[in-house]
Homo-oligomer: A and B are copies of this chain.
Amino acid sequence: MKSLLIVCDGMGDRLTDGKTPLEAAKTPNMDKFAKKGITGIMDTVRTGIRPGSDTAHLSLFGYDPFRVYTGRGPFEAAGVGLELKRGDVALRCNFATLKNGKVIDRRAGRDEYGLKELTREVSKIKFRDTEIKFKKCAGHRAVLILRGKGLSSRVTDTDPETLNVPPARSRSIDGRPESRKTAAILNEFTRKTEEILSEHVINKRRKLPANVILCRGAGTKPELESFEERYGMNAACISATALIKGVCNSIGMKVIDVKGATGHVDSDISKKAKTAINALKKYDFVFLHIKGTDEASHDGDFNSKKEMIERIDREVIGPILEKVKDTTIVLTADHSTPISIRQHSADPVPIAILGDVRTDQVDKFTERECSKGGLNRICGIDLMHIILDLSDRAELFGA
């Protein structure tokens, strides 16, 4: 049997005026899914741990993030097709705006004008025995790779993640020579980007100058067994988010790009659903990721999240229920992103599984209804085993 895993990013929530967005939304298809399947709640990483999207997805795919995760950088790099070598340190970067030495916009106004040219300038930065690779990604985003001897990812970010302060000084976390060296290079990198970008002609023409690069999430190449080797299933990923594509890429999934898939609330999710349904012909395991729910959550926009959920119900779950047969289908989220706090939380996510399952009496796909379901409360790291078992692909442990 084949398997389809549908993850709506940040879909779980807390109460706003007594209801979660899932409870407020009209979701006849998700409710049918819950009714015909078995439901529960799930701690994607571990009870009480606030998951990132990267650590949550690693866990959902069965890779223990406490063992394999060093930082988001390597997954961002993999998401934009940058190959890491062993010993490289990768970081996620932002073009940002400094005024009088202080960060006044961490995203340089989300304005892409001229960033390609500025990327070329930043790429010319040189260090004595450390090579850099710098690649622009979508919008104001970029990835930095440091390559050389004696580097370490055990360093703090230069992105202060707050405004009206200078870029943060990177520091060694473990006090070892490798991390001290890496922190020094990052601080020097910050200074050099400031120097090069401040005077650049492009920045005279921008509303907000992109006059510094801020870095975060240092990590080294994770040594991950491929998904296919581990589970004996070839797998495809349908996602518009670089970080998630990077996670999938790192475990050898085929990343299928969909035109019109943006990762925002305006994404062509209908086309993503069609692509997923189609991919099930060729792949044993298809992973469909929808980001808009998380975006609306980070904006604190209850109605936008509710409407995104209704669109997913109509444009994704409806067609999948209609067309996908003889497949173990999982509907869940990677974490909760409550509207009230606008950031990821550790609240468990609802989950429903369709297939050769023991059904329960839950007939609504919401956080609170699913908590009464037949799965009870499960852990994300165990999900792949459950999927393999239900799809008749699990190995017997013992005799």
> Do the beta carbons of A385 and B344 come within 8 Å of each other?
no
A92 interface hit (Cβ, 8 Å): yes
Q: Chain B: which residue is nearest A376 at the CB level?
A: B377
Residues of B within 8 A of A345 (CB): 389, 394
The stretch among A41-49, A80-88, A122-130, A320-328 that forms the contact with chain B is A41-49
How far, in Å, is A376 (CB) from chain B's closest CB?
Answer: 4
The contact string, 1 if C-beta is below 8 Å from chain B, for chain A 27-71, is 000000000000001000111111111111000000001000101
Tell yes or no: A163 within 8 A of B by CB. Answer: no
A341 at the B interface (CB under 8 A): yes
How many copies of this kind of chain does the complex include?
2
Partner of A399, one of B49, B217, B372, B399: B217
State whether the Cβ of A379 lies closer than 8 Å to any Cβ in chain B: yes
Known: A72-B398, A346-B386. A367 touches B358 (CB 8 A): yes
In the complex, the answer to whether A379 meets B55 with C-beta atoms within 8 Å is no
Interface centre among A51, A341, A367, A397, by most chain B C-beta atoms within 10 angstroms, is: A397
Contact A48 B389 (CB under 8 A): yes
List A residues 8-23 near B (Cβ within 8 Å).
14-15, 20
Is A343's beta carbon under 8 Å from chain B? yes
A217 neighbours in B (Cβ, 8 Å): 399
Residues of B within 8 A of A388 (CB): 48
Give, as a whole number of angstroms, the nearest-CB distance from A9 to chain B. Answer: 13
Shortest C-beta distance, A161 to chain B (Å), equals 11
Could you mark each residue 339-351 of chain A with 1 if its beta carbon is under 8 Å from any beta carbon of chain B, else 0?
A: 0110111110000
> Given A14-B357, A47-B382, A347-B358, 18 other A-B contacts at CB below 8 A?
A14-B356, A46-B385, A47-B378, A48-B382, A48-B384, A48-B394, A50-B397, A51-B396, A54-B398, A55-B397, A243-B399, A338-B356, A344-B396, A345-B389, A347-B389, A358-B371, A359-B368, A360-B371
A252 at the A/B interface (Cβ < 8 Å)? no
Q: Which chain B residues border A15 with CB–CB below 8 Å? A: 358-359
> Within 8 Å of chain B (Cβ to Cβ): is A223?
no
Return the contact of A398 from the options B47, B69, B338, B399 (Cβ within 8 A). B69
Contact yes or no, B394 A346, CB < 8 A? yes
Residue in B closest to A54 when the chains form the complex, CB atoms? B398
Q: Is A392 an interface residue (CB 8 A)?
A: yes
Residues of B within 8 A of A398 (CB): 45, 51-56, 65, 69, 72
Q: Would B376 and A374 count as touching, CB distance under 8 A?
A: no
Determine how close the nearest CB of chain B comes to the CB of A359; give it in whole angstroms: 7
> In the complex, what residues of B have CB within 8 A of residue A72's CB?
398-399
Tell me whether A383 is interfacial, beta carbon within 8 Å: yes
Please give, as numbers and ranges, the residues of chain B lying within 8 Å of A45 by CB-CB distance. 397-398
Q: How far is the CB of A46 from chain B (nearest CB, A)?
A: 7
In this assembly, does A395 line the interface, its C-beta being within 8 Å of a C-beta of chain B? yes
Inside 8 A of A243's CB, which chain B residues have their CB? Answer: 399
